[in-house]
DNA sequence: GGGATTTCTGCACCTGGTATACATATAGAC
DNA sequence: GTCTATATGTATACCAGGTGCAGAAATCCC
């Protein structure tokens, strides 16, 4: 019944944060592959062994921040208003992400986030680690579709992989443009149009694609 | 104009094959993570350094065999008969793969292939390496759609990621079932039905999914 | 055969990640 | 406050994947 999680717990959280922060700072300054985990451990004033007790692999020092997003689509589908189609809820949620410049949509150009995004996209092992989240997102979304929309097994899995792939593609495109120098505010209208086009494609199929390029 | 590629070239090909064969043999017998590259090099009677001259990473000892499939969908789209929709050509090609028990469809239950497939799916680093082929397949297919069907940039990319994701999902499902013990011939009708359902979903969209589960 | 050029090798080395054995700090009972 | 069980951190040594380098060996071409 205590509001505070105890000293031990708090210390763990601080250590976790300290390691993560030291890592990102060093990576942003010198590059992911140019910094060894030993250097990160030293900067965080922690032994290498302890670092690996908090993060299972070097890549997780960077991508653990994205772990929350793994189940985001599934949560949106579960929490959708009554009588609303899953795809509608997902589209509205994605558009809201664009409006709010949620980094997950790729439409955030704060220098720190931008540099981090570029680093991830330029580092194959980090991209590979991100794919795991994608796979997790597919599984979670498929389950949500099955449980809340009575979607049959196969259809749920297929719909999930399509939806996740499309969202990922949209985000990656935005990230690519923004890290290439296009301001987020300038990209915004195009990003909205692209997202609407993409969700229309998902809804209506590839046979009769909408006019818009 | 010479039919023969010279002794040097032939030797290289033989070395390449010898390393690959030794690797797969050892991996199938003891497991991917249980065999070190040094052991593979020794079995192939080659130095470790030479092994890495032929294969950039341990994982490539296994997955290099799938490199050809990276551009398969793109090739199918490019080589489709006149007046045929890309999706139609891809469906026919996938169904042909199922009929012929092409391992890429997951519907081949020869013991060797089956064991290899299970090993890949059970080894995260191998799965990660496969994702790169997936990404390559997406890029190649998007380009083929742009060039041969005048599909606009964005639509081509989105269609490509959807199509590749769906094919991948179908193949993975078949592999999962077959490696779990279901004979390929027994799975075949279901695999065909699933593929047809999946392509129908791609064509008609997620709004009005076909009846079939 | 002989020299230029590739290819192969052995060796040292770096880095990510783990096992082991030991030290230290915290929690909770008294 | 003290004591003890337990969770957490550390030092060290180690393994495996991967690379750089210098020189040996094979191939090519004349």
Q: Output the six-digit token pair for A90.
A: 């997902």
Say if CB B98 and CB B107 are below 8 A apart.
yes
Claim to verify: residue A150 and residue A91 sit in the same structural domain: yes
* Residue A211 resides in a domain: no
Say if CB A70 and CB A140 are below 8 A apart.
yes
Residues of A in contact with B153 (CB under 8 A): 213
Q: Span A63-83, mean pLDDT?
A: 96
pLDDT at A210: 64
Claim to verify: residue A50 and residue A81 sit in the same structural domain: no
Claim to verify: residue B24 and residue B129 sit in the same structural domain: no
What's the Cα-to-Cα distance from A107 to each of A88, A111, A121, rounded to whole Å? 21, 12, 15
What's the Cα-to-Cα distance from B165 to each of A213, B141, B158, B160, B202, rounded to whole Å? 22, 12, 11, 8, 11
Range of the domain at A15: 6-58
pLDDT at B8: 80
pLDDT at A11: 87
The residue in chain B having the minimum alpha-carbon distance to the alpha carbon of residue A157 is: B169
- pTM of the full structure: 0.94
CB atoms within 10 A of CB B211: 6
* Residue B211 resides in a domain: no
Q: What is the pLDDT of residues B95-154, one digit of tens each?
A: 999 999 999 999 999 999 999 999 999 999 999 999 999 999 999 999 999 999 999 999
The angle at the Cα of B38, spanning A48 to B111, to the nearest 5 degrees, equals 110
Claim to verify: residue A93 and residue A132 sit in the same structural domain: yes
What's the Cα-to-Cα distance from B192 to each of B172, B174, B182, B185, B202, rounded to whole Å? 14, 10, 15, 11, 15
Q: What is the pLDDT of residues A149-204, one digit of tens each?
A: 999 999 999 999 999 999 999 999 999 999 999 999 999 999 999 999 999 999 99
Percent with pLDDT over 90 in chain B: 92
pLDDT at A47: 95
Claim to verify: residue A75 and residue A156 sit in the same structural domain: yes
Is pLDDT above 90 for A56? yes
* CB-closest option in A128, A202, A213 to B131: A128
Is pLDDT above 50 for A1? no
* Residue A153 resides in a domain: yes
Contact A153 B213 (CB under 8 A): yes
Q: Please tell me the distance from the alpha carbon of residue B184 to that of residue B166, in angstroms, as a whole number.
A: 20
Domain CATH for A23: 1.10.10.60
Q: Which residues of A touch B (CB under 8 A)?
A: 85, 87, 124, 128, 131-132, 151-155, 157-159, 161-166, 168-169, 173, 194, 197-198, 201-207, 209, 213
Say if CB A172 and CB A106 are below 8 A apart.
yes
Is pLDDT above 80 for B2? no
The rounded mean pLDDT for chain B is 94
3-state secondary structure chain B: CCCCCHHHHHHHHHHHHHHHHHHHHHHHHHCCCCCCHHHHHHHCCCCHHHHHHHCCCCCHHHHHHHHHHHHHHHHHHHCCCCCCCHHHHHHHHHHHHHHCCCHHHCCCCCHHHHHHHHHHHHCHHHHHHHHHHHHHHHHHHHHHHHHHHCCCHHHHHHHHHHHHHHHHHHHHHHHHHHHCCCCHHHHHHHHHHHHHHHHHHHHHCCCCCCCCC
Contact B205 A209 (CB under 8 A): no
Is pLDDT above 80 for A209? no
The residue in chain A having the minimum alpha-carbon distance to the alpha carbon of residue B161 is: A165
* Residue B159 resides in a domain: yes
Claim to verify: residue B19 and residue B92 sit in the same structural domain: no
Q: What sign for the dihedral angle of Cα B152, B157, B160, B166?
A: negative
The reply to whether B121 Cβ lies less than 7 angstroms from strand D is no
* Residue A212 resides in a domain: no
* CB-closest option in B131, B206, B213 to A154: B213
Non-local CB neighbours of B212 within 8 Å, separated by 6+ positions: B193, B197
Number of A:B CB contacts under 8 A? 100
The rounded mean pLDDT for chain A is 94
Say if CB B51 and CB B40 are below 8 A apart.
yes
Claim to verify: residue A11 and residue A89 sit in the same structural domain: no
Q: For chain A, what is the domain count?
A: 2
B 4-43: CB within 7 Å of strand C: 8, 11-12, 15
Domain endpoint, select from A39, A58, A77: A58
Non-local CB neighbours of B34 within 8 Å, separated by 6+ positions: none
Claim to verify: residue A41 and residue A111 sit in the same structural domain: no
Claim to verify: residue B84 and residue B172 sit in the same structural domain: yes
C-alpha count within 13 angstroms, C-beta hemisphere, residue B3: 0
Domain endpoint, select from B34, B58, B82: B58
Q: Output the six-digit token pair for B50.
A: 């030479």
Contact A198 B158 (CB under 8 A): yes
Domain CATH for A198: 1.10.357
Q: H-helix or E-strand containing A188?
A: helix A184-204
Q: Output the six-digit token pair for A198.
A: 């993409």
- Interface with A, mutate which of B176, B206, B209, B213 (most A CBs under 10 A): B206
Q: Span A94-117, mean pLDDT?
A: 97
Is pLDDT above 80 for A205? yes
Claim to verify: residue A38 and residue A133 sit in the same structural domain: no
The reply to whether A15 Cβ lies less than 7 angstroms from strand D is yes
* Residue A98 resides in a domain: yes
Residues of B in contact with A158 (CB under 8 A): 166, 169, 197-198, 201
Domain endpoint, select from B17, B42, B58: B58
Claim to verify: residue B31 and residue B69 sit in the same structural domain: no
CB atoms within 10 A of CB A109: 22
> Residue A213: which pLDDT band, with cuts at 50, 70 and 90?
very low
Q: Please tell me the distance from the alpha carbon of residue B111 to that of residue B118, in angstroms, as a whole number.
A: 10
Helix axes B153-179, B111-122, angle to 10 degrees: 120
Non-local CB neighbours of B70 within 8 Å, separated by 6+ positions: B133, B136, B137, B140
pLDDT at B106: 97
* Residue B213 resides in a domain: no
Say if CB A72 and CB A104 are below 8 A apart.
yes
The angle at the Cα of B153, spanning A182 to A139, to the nearest 5 degrees, equals 90
pLDDT at B1: 39
Q: What is the pLDDT of residues B147-202, one digit of tens each?
A: 999 999 999 999 999 999 999 999 999 999 999 999 999 999 999 999 999 999 99
The reply to whether B47 Cβ lies less than 7 angstroms from strand C is yes
Say if CB B187 and CB B177 are below 8 A apart.
yes
* Residue A50 resides in a domain: yes
In terms of C-beta density within 10 A (0-12 exposed, 13-18 middle, 19 or more buried), how is residue A8 classed?
Answer: exposed
Claim to verify: residue A126 and residue A185 sit in the same structural domain: yes
């Amino acid at each position: 019944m205590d509001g505070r999680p105890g000293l031990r717990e708090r210390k763990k959280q601080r250590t976790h944060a300290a390691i993560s922060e030291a890592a990102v700072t060093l990576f942003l300054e010198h590059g992911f592959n140019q910094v060894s985990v030993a250097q990160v451990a030293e900067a965080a004033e922690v032994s290498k062994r302890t670092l690996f007790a908090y993060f299972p692999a070097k890549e997780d020092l960077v991508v653990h921040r994205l772990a929350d997003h793994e189940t985001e689509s599934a949560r949106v589908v579960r929490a959708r208003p009554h009588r609303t189609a899953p795809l509608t809820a997902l589209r509205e949620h994605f558009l809201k992400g664009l409006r709010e410049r949620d980094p997950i949509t790729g439409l955030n150009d704060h220098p720190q986030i931008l540099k981090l995004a570029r680093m991830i996209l330029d580092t194959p092992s980090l991209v590979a680690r991100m794919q795991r989240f994608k796979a997790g997102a597919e599984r979670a979304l498929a389950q949500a579709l099955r449980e809340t929309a009575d979607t049959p097994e196969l259809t749920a899995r297929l719909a999930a992989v399509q939806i996740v792939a499309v969202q990922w593609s949209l985000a990656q495109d935005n990230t690519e443009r923004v890290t290439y120098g296009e301001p987020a505010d300038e990209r915004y209208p195009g990003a909205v149009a692209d997202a609407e086009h993409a969700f229309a494609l998902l809804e209506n199929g590839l046979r009769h694609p909408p006019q818009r390029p």
